[in-house]
Amino acid sequence: MKVVHSICCGLDVHAKTVVACLIKGGEKERRTFSTMTDDLVRLKEWLIAAECPRVGIESTGVYWRPVFNILEDRVEVLLLNARDVKGRRGRKTDMLDSEWIAEMVQYGLVEGSFIPPANIRELRELTRYRESLVRHRTSLANRIQKLIESGNIKLGQVASDVFGASGRAMLRALADGQSDAHGLASLARGSLKKKETELARALQGQLTEAQRWVLKALLNQYEQTEIEIAEVQERLSAEVADNADPFAPDAVALLQTVPGIGEKVAMVIIAEIGLDMTRFPTAGHLASWAGLCPGNHESAGKRSSGRTTKGNPYLRTSLVQAAWAATRTRNTYLAAQYRRLVKRMGAKKALVAVAHTMLTMVYYILKRREPFRELGGDYFERRSIDDQRKSLVRKLESLGFSVTIAPLLPEPTIAEASPSEA
């Protein structure tokens, strides 16, 4: 095989050690370093002294991150998928693993994974932390709901939002020991005030003292989590406004021109894929990286599976949620696409297809730095009038009608119209 990189290094990273194999001039030099910062700095100095421009490192949990942070400013670091650098069977030691990684880099057999720049990684830390807080809040809400149900409190059967202002006031009163159902129902506000009689029946339960104590603790955690979510969102907004890339605030605004994408989803998109679309050769590459492309599993001319790949779970989840919101919009291309696909795909697959389309839109918005241009809810009808005409005729014929169609007479021009009509 042809040598692509004459000087390179392979790193086998673990929790406590980093095993390095440097290839230079056909010679191999191996060293072992600890993962403490001072030892990683020595690793960096060793690579610089050897004039090594490129390092391959296997993606292993979070252990590669501190090594990458130390090396990224002076050495090109290729983050390699563990699937692509799996060693040969029967030969498994740390030294051999690092040598194998170095050889893969030397002959150009692997490509590095996408790693966004430092300013985008800062946003990613915040958006992912917010996601974990939102999931924790949802978990707490479910636990509270189960707790009051076990005491036969049927608040969720009457109030559409148990954690709205009225519902939370009632839960607090229950946790504080109040048991009078009519007194609890009188805490209803707004439109829920009309349901006081139903609320009184729903709140006639029996919570034990232990259950009330747990309910109060869960409510405290729920409210504290909401405060933390608001703080993270505030920090995110400040991070976008003061980002090293001045395009970041404009990018958030441009992405919100796509139906279904709000500020939070726009921030997640930027945090996961960055602002530089040259990292992805085409929109298809980006969709594949995100796990929104149909998979390929074909043998002997027979395709056995079209399941999508795993991809980036944070980006995929946010886009599918945005796709669901987009399908509820009126007179939009995305809503029309969903209605067109759901008939033959089903709801879940159609949502993934819409999310794929949205990511393609995102790619070109960030690449061209232009807002989204709406095609309209009648786009597919305008594009295929003949197909639609044939489809309608077939439907009528299937109902037992004989159909003959003829074009309408052309409308008179202004010159042909009567003076009163003109």
Average pLDDT over residues 185-209: 93
- Residue 116 sits at the vertex; the CA angle it makes with 35 and 293, to the nearest 5 degrees, is 115
Kindly write down the DSSP assignment for every residue of 199-252, as one continuous string: HHHHT-----HHHHHHHHHHHHHHHHHHHHHHHHHHHHHHHHHT-SSTTHHHHH
Band of residue 238 on the pLDDT scale cut at 50, 70, 90 = very high
Question: What pLDDT does 302 receive?
Answer: 67
Q: What percent of the chain has pLDDT over 90?
A: 78
Average pLDDT over residues 251-275: 97
Question: What pLDDT does 415 receive?
Answer: 45
The DSSP code for 379 is: H
Question: What pLDDT does 303 receive?
Answer: 63
At the top level of CATH, which class does the domain 7-106 belong to? alpha beta
pLDDT over 80 (residue 51): yes
The DSSP code for 187 is: T
Question: What pLDDT does 37 receive?
Answer: 96
CB 22 within 8 A of CB 56: no
Burial category of 37 from C-beta neighbours within 10 Å (exposed 0-12, middle 13-18, buried 19 and up): exposed
Say what the pTM is: 0.85
Band of residue 87 on the pLDDT scale cut at 50, 70, 90 = low
Q: Over the stretch 91-142, which tens digit does the pLDDT of each residue have?
A: 788 899 999 999 999 999 998 999 999 999 999 999 999 999 999 999 999 9
Compute the distance between CA of residue 102 and CA of residue 58 in angstroms, rounded to an integer: 11
Burial category of 191 from C-beta neighbours within 10 Å (exposed 0-12, middle 13-18, buried 19 and up): exposed
Q: Over the stretch 332-378, which tens digit does the pLDDT of each residue have?
A: 999 999 999 999 999 999 999 999 999 999 999 999 999 999 999 98
Q: What percent of the chain has pLDDT over 70?
A: 93
Compute the distance between CA of residue 287 and CA of residue 312 in angstroms, rounded to an integer: 10
Tell me which of 81 and 407 has the higher pLDDT.
81
CB 240 within 8 A of CB 248: yes
The DSSP code for 112 is: P
Band of residue 316 on the pLDDT scale cut at 50, 70, 90 = very high
Question: What pLDDT does 157 receive?
Answer: 92
> What does the mean pLDDT of the chain come to?
90
Tell me which of 43 and 304 has the higher pLDDT.
43
Compute the distance between CA of residue 353 and CA of residue 342 in angstroms, rounded to an integer: 10
Question: What pLDDT does 410 receive?
Answer: 60
Burial category of 362 from C-beta neighbours within 10 Å (exposed 0-12, middle 13-18, buried 19 and up): buried
Delimit the domains of the chain by residue range.
7-106, 119-241, 248-297+305-368
pLDDT over 90 (residue 404): no
Burial category of 96 from C-beta neighbours within 10 Å (exposed 0-12, middle 13-18, buried 19 and up): middle
Tell me which of 418 and 25 has the higher pLDDT.
25
**116: closest CA among 67, 173, 179, 72?**
72
